[in-house]
Chains A and B, each alone.
Chain A
Amino acid sequence: MLELKGVCYSAEDENREAEILKDINVTIEDRFIAVTGPNGSGKSTLARIIAGIIKPTAGQILLDGVDITDLSITERANMGISFAFQQPVRFKGITVRELLSIAAGKDASMAEICNMLSEVGLCARDYVNREVNASLSGGELKRIEIAMIMARGTKVSIFDEPEAGIDLWSFQNLIHVFEKMHGEIHGSILIISHQERILNIADRIILLADGQIKKVGSKEEVIPELLGAGAHCKTLTDKL
Chain B
Amino acid sequence: MDAIQQNLLEQVAGLHEIPAGAYNIRANGQMAARNTTANIDITTKEDRSGIDIRIKPGTRNESVHIPVVLSQSGLKESVYNDFFVGENADVTIIAGCGIHNSGGSASEHSGIHRFFVEKNAKVRYVEKHYGSGDGSGERLMNPTTEIHLAEGASLEMDTVQIKGIDSTKRITTAQVAEGASLVIREKIMTHGRQYAETDFSVDMNGDDSSVNLISRSVAKEHSRQLFKSRIVGNGKCQGHSECDAIIMDEASVSAVPELTANNIDANLIHEAAIGKIAGEQLMKLMTLGLTEKEAEEQIVNGFLK
A residues touching B (Cβ–Cβ < 8 Å)?
51, 53, 72-74, 77-78, 81-83, 85, 87-89, 91-94, 98, 102-103, 105, 148, 152
Whether a CB of chain A sits under 8 angstroms from the CB of B30 is no
Asked whether, in the complex, the Cβ of B287 is within 8 Å of the Cβ of A73, the reply is yes
Whether a CB of chain A sits under 8 angstroms from the CB of B290 is yes
In the complex, A105 Cα to B287 Cα: how many Å? 12
How far is the CB of A11 from the nearest CB of chain B, in Å? 16
Q: Which residue of A74, A88, A89 is within 8 Å of B289 (Cβ)?
A: A74
Whether a CB of chain A sits under 8 angstroms from the CB of B291 is yes
In the complex, A92 Cα to B287 Cα: how many Å? 19
Q: Which residue of B216, B278, B292 is within 8 Å of A74 (Cβ)?
A: B292
A-B contact pairs, 18 of them (CB 8 A): A51-B287, A53-B283, A72-B286, A74-B286, A74-B291, A74-B292, A77-B286, A77-B288, A82-B287, A85-B280, A85-B284, A89-B284, A92-B216, A93-B301, A93-B303, A105-B289, A148-B288, A152-B288
Q: Which residue of B244, B286, B292, B302 is within 8 Å of A98 (Cβ)?
A: B302
Known: A77-B288, A102-B298. 11 other contacts (CB 8 A): A51-B287, A53-B287, A73-B286, A77-B286, A77-B287, A77-B289, A85-B280, A91-B281, A93-B302, A103-B288, A105-B289
How far is the CB of B289 from the nearest CB of chain A, in Å? 4
- List chain B residues, Cβ under 8 A from A94: 298-299, 302
- List chain A residues, Cβ under 8 A from B285: 102
Q: Give the tally of cross-chain contacts (CB within 8 A).
A: 56
Whether a CB of chain A sits under 8 angstroms from the CB of B305 is yes
Asked whether, in the complex, the Cβ of A102 is within 8 Å of the Cβ of B288, the reply is yes
- List chain B residues, Cβ under 8 A from A98: 298, 302
How far is the CB of B41 from the nearest CB of chain A, in Å? 39
How far is the CB of B283 from the nearest CB of chain A, in Å? 6
How far is the CB of A94 from the nearest CB of chain B, in Å? 4
- List chain A residues, Cβ under 8 A from B280: 85, 87, 89
Which residue of chain B is the closest to A145 with respect to CB atoms? B284
Asked whether, in the complex, the Cβ of B288 is within 8 Å of the Cβ of A92, the reply is no
In the complex, A226 Cα to B287 Cα: how many Å? 31
Contact with A along B267-299 (1 / 0, CB 8 A): 000000000001011011111111110000011
Whether a CB of chain A sits under 8 angstroms from the CB of B304 is yes
In the complex, A93 Cα to B303 Cα: how many Å? 5
In the complex, A94 Cα to B303 Cα: how many Å? 7
How far is the CB of B279 from the nearest CB of chain A, in Å? 9
> What bracket does the count of chain B residues touching chain A fall in?
20 to 34
In the complex, A78 Cα to B289 Cα: how many Å? 5
- List chain B residues, Cβ under 8 A from A92: 216, 244, 302-303
The 6 closest A-B pairs by CB, nearest first: A93-B302, A94-B302, A73-B286, A77-B289, A89-B284, A83-B287
- List chain A residues, Cβ under 8 A from B302: 91-94, 98
In the complex, A94 Cα to B305 Cα: how many Å? 9
- List chain B residues, Cβ under 8 A from A148: 288
In the complex, A94 Cα to B301 Cα: how many Å? 8
How far is the CB of A130 from the nearest CB of chain B, in Å? 13
In the complex, A51 Cα to B284 Cα: how many Å? 10
How far is the CB of A9 from the nearest CB of chain B, in Å? 17
Contact with A along B36-47 (1 / 0, CB 8 A): 000000000000
- List chain B residues, Cβ under 8 A from A88: 284
In this complex, the member of B244, B283, B292 whose beta carbon has the largest number of chain A beta carbons within 10 angstroms is B283
How far is the CB of A236 from the nearest CB of chain B, in Å? 34
In the complex, A89 Cα to B305 Cα: how many Å? 19
- List chain B residues, Cβ under 8 A from A53: 283, 287
In the complex, A219 Cα to B304 Cα: how many Å? 49
In the complex, A86 Cα to B278 Cα: how many Å? 16
How far is the CB of B44 from the nearest CB of chain A, in Å? 41
Which residue of chain B is the closest to A83 with respect to CB atoms? B287
Asked whether, in the complex, the Cβ of B283 is within 8 Å of the Cβ of A73, the reply is yes
In this complex, the member of B283, B284, B301 whose beta carbon has the largest number of chain A beta carbons within 10 angstroms is B284
In the complex, A53 Cα to B298 Cα: how many Å? 19
Which residue of chain B is the closest to A132 with respect to CB atoms? B302
- List chain B residues, Cβ under 8 A from A91: 281, 299, 302
How far is the CB of A105 from the nearest CB of chain B, in Å? 6
In the complex, A14 Cα to B123 Cα: how many Å? 59
Which residue of chain B is the closest to A48 with respect to CB atoms? B283
Q: Which residue of A73, A74, A93, A105 is within 8 Å of B304 (Cβ)?
A: A93
- List chain B residues, Cβ under 8 A from A82: 287
In the complex, A88 Cα to B281 Cα: how many Å? 9
Which residue of chain A is the closest to B273 with respect to CB atoms? A92
- List chain B residues, Cβ under 8 A from A85: 280, 284
Asked whether, in the complex, the Cβ of A102 is within 8 Å of the Cβ of B281, the reply is no
